[in-house]
Amino acid sequence: MSQLPFDPLLVSIAAPLALALAIALGLPKRWSVLLAYGAFALPALLALHTWWHFSSMPQTAGYAFLTTYSTGLDGVGISLKLGLNGISLPLFVLAGLVGLAAGLYAIQSGAERLKIYLMLLLIMQGGLMGVFASVDIFFFYFFHELALIPTFIMVGVWGGRDRAYAAMKMTIYLTLGAMVSLVGLIALYVKSGAHTFDLITLRAHLAAHPLAETLQNNIAGLLLFGLGVLVSLWPLHTWAPLGYGAAPSSAAMLHAGVLKKFGLYGLVQIALPLLPAGLAHWSHPLAWLAVVGNILIVGLITIAQRDLKQMIGYSSVMHMGYAFLGIAAAGTIGPGGVVLLMVAHGLSVALLFLLATAIHHRTHTFNLDEMGGLAQKTPVLAAFFVAATLASIGLPGFANFWGELAIFVALWKFSPLITALAVAGVVISAIYGLRSAARVFFGPSTEQLAQVTAAHPPLDLSWKERAPALILLAALLFVGFWPKSITTALDAALKPAAVAPAAPAAKPVGAPI
C-alpha cells in the first residue's frame, strides 16, 4: 500500500505549475534553476511510486489513486477527478520520465532567458501529468491545452531555422485538431444522456445504453479527424517535422515524446470503449491512410532527408502510422500494442532529439552529408545514438519491439495485406536509421567537418548530457526486457473495452447528428 500522506497525482501536477507561477512572480534566477531540479524530478519519482504500488491499491472500475476534488458545476457534469488505470498508468510514467530528462537537459542548456524557458517547460510538464491523471474528459482536454500553449511560444522564441513559420503552422494545425476534437467530445457529452464528463460514469452508462450506430459513426469521425491531426495522421501531418526541426531540444522531447500521444490516448481510453461501432466503421479507411500515407509515403520521404533533425521528425510521423493500425485492428492486443508503442516511441524519439542536438553542438550542422567519423572522438555519443536508432527500428531487447509485434499480431487478423505493407515499413526504418548512424559516426570525416573540428575538437558526452540520456535508455531497456511491467495492468484495463457491445441496443439513446 502507498504510505504517502498526500495525493501523488495532484502533487505531480501542482509542483511544476507552482514553480512556474513562482518564476512568473519574480523568483530569482538562482532559486528558479535550483528548484527546477526538484520540480522536474518530483513528478517522475511520484509516477514511479504509483506504478510500483498500483496493483496493491484499492481500485474502482479499474482505477487506483482515485480522488474527487470537486463535484461539478450546476447543470454541467464537470468534476476534477484524478486516477490511473492500466491504460493511463504507463503514459503517466512516460510523462514523468521524459519530463525529467527534458528538464535536466534544459537546465544545463544555457538557453537565453533561461528562467522563462524553464517556466514554460514546467507549465508543459504540469499539463502533461494532468492529461494522463484526469478521469474527467473536460480536464483531460483542459490539461492538454495548458501543455500545448507553451509549445508555440518556445518554437517561436527559442526555435531554430524557420521558427516563425513553423510556430504559425503548428498553431493553425493543432488548433484545428483541438477544436474539431472538442466538438466531438461535446457531442459525446450531449448525446450520451449521462450528463457528465466522468469517464467511469460514461462507460457504465453507454455500456447499458449504447448510442445509435449512425451517431457513433459521426462522433467517432470527428474524434478521428481532430485527434488524428494532433497525432500527425497523413495527409495532415506536415506541421510535425517542420515544428520539431525548428523546436528547441527540450520542447521537441516533450511534445514528440509525450504531448503527441494525447490523440492516441484519447482514442484508446475514450473512443474505443464508448464508440466501438463508430471506430469499427472507420477502421478500414483509417488503416489505409496509416499504412499508405504515414508508413510508406512518409517513410520514403524520411529516407530522402539530409537534415538529421528533420529525419527524426519525419520518422516520428511514420511510426504514428503503426499506432493508428493498432487502433484500427481493435480487440485487446491491438490497443495494447498501441499503448506499448506510445511509451516506447516517446522514450526513443525524445532520446534521439536530445542526441541530435548533442551532435549539432559538436559539428555545428544537422546536414548528414557534412558529417562522418565522429565515433572516433565521441564513442559514448555514438553508442547512445546507435542504441536509440536500434530501439526506434524495433530491435528485440527494446520496448519498441513489443509494441510493434503486438500490433502486427492484431493486424494480421484484420488484414494480411495491410500487415505485409506495414512490415515493409520496418525495412524502411532500418534503411534511414542505420544510414544516418553510419553517416554521422562512421567512415571518413568530411572536409566541412574537419574544418569545424580542427579549431575545436569535439568532446564526448558530458555527465550533464549523459544523465538524461541514461534515464531514457534505461527505461527503453527495462520495458524491453520486462514488458509485463506494463502489460499486466494494461490487459485488465482493455478487456472490458474488447467485449463492449459493437452494435447499438434495441432502443438506442440519441439521434444522428
> What is the per-residue pLDDT across 135-172, written as a single tens digit (0 to 9) for each?
999 999 999 999 999 988 888 888 877 888 888 888 89
3-state secondary structure of 73: strand
| pLDDT computed for residue 209 by the predictor | 86
Residue 72 pLDDT class (50, 70, 90 cuts): low
Q: Give the pLDDT confidence score for residue 70 in this predicted structure.
A: 73
What does the pLDDT read at residue 46? Answer: 95
Domain ranges of the chain: 275-483
| Cell numbers that stand for 14 in this block | 501542482
Instruction: Decide if pLDDT at 52 tops 90.
Output: yes
What pLDDT shows up at residue 504? Answer: 40
pLDDT in tens, 289-347: 999 999 999 999 999 998 899 999 999 999 999 999 999 988 778 899 999 999 999 99
Average pLDDT for the chain: 87
Average pLDDT of the segment spanning 256-281 = 91
pLDDT mean over 463-468: 90
Indicate if the pLDDT at residue 509 is higher than 50: no
What SS3 class is residue 248? coil
For residue 84, the model assigns a pLDDT of 94
**What are the residues facing 81 on neighbouring strands?**
68
In the predicted model, what is the mean pLDDT of residues 207-218?
A: 89
Residue 187: predicted pLDDT: 92
Residue 63: which of 48, 90, 85, 79 has the closest Cα?
A: 85
Query: What pLDDT is stored for residue 459 in this prediction?
Result: 82
Which alpha helices (H) appear in 193-330, and where do they start and end?
199-208, 213-231, 239-246, 249-254, 261-266, 272-274, 276-288, 298-304, 308-329
Most confident of 2-16, 57-71, 338-352: 338-352
Binned at pLDDT 50, 70 and 90, residue 501 comes out as very low
d(CA 239, CA 230): 10
Provide DSSP, 380-419: HHHHHHHHHHHHHHT-TTSHHHHHHHHHHHHHHHH-HHHH
Whole-model pTM: value is 0.90
**Least confident stretch, 113-122, 207-216, 289-298, 490-499:** 490-499
What is the rounded average pLDDT of the residues 64-69? 88
Residues 381-391: b if buried by 16+ CB within 10 A, e if exposed: bbebbbbbbbb
**How much of the chain exceeds pLDDT 90, in percent?**
55
